[in-house]
Amino acid sequence: MPQADQAPEKEEEFTHPEMHNDEVLLCNTFSENFGKPFITRYKTFRIGNVPYDDEGKPMKTDDLRPVFVKKSEYDELDGKK
């Protein structure tokens, strides 16, 4: 617990263990969505194996998978440079 004159510690942001250093986690989605434009607009998309929830815990599901894209392409398509 921080003392009164100290700022509270910032929570560490979860990093998906399958994500490469130059990627961002786009979303978790079902296999039926893999060919849809919200994924295929990214030429560098890659499908992972294990989805994680917002608390960083593996999700138990048969069909949900994480989707990763290169950070540079994500930033370019979403106007962030």
76: part of which helix (H) or strand (E)? helix 71-77
As for how many domains the chain has, the answer is 1
Measured between alpha carbons, how far is 37 from 16 in angstroms, rounded to an integer? Answer: 23
Question: Over its length of 81 residues, how does the chain's per-residue pLDDT go in tens digits?
Answer: 445 555 555 456 789 999 999 999 999 999 999 999 999 999 999 999 999 998 999 999 889 999 999 999 999 998 765
Residue 42 lies in a domain: yes
Cβ–Cβ < 8 Å for 45, 39 = yes
Domain residues for the domain of 29 are: 23-77
DSSP one-letter code for 6: S
Residue 16 lies in a domain: no
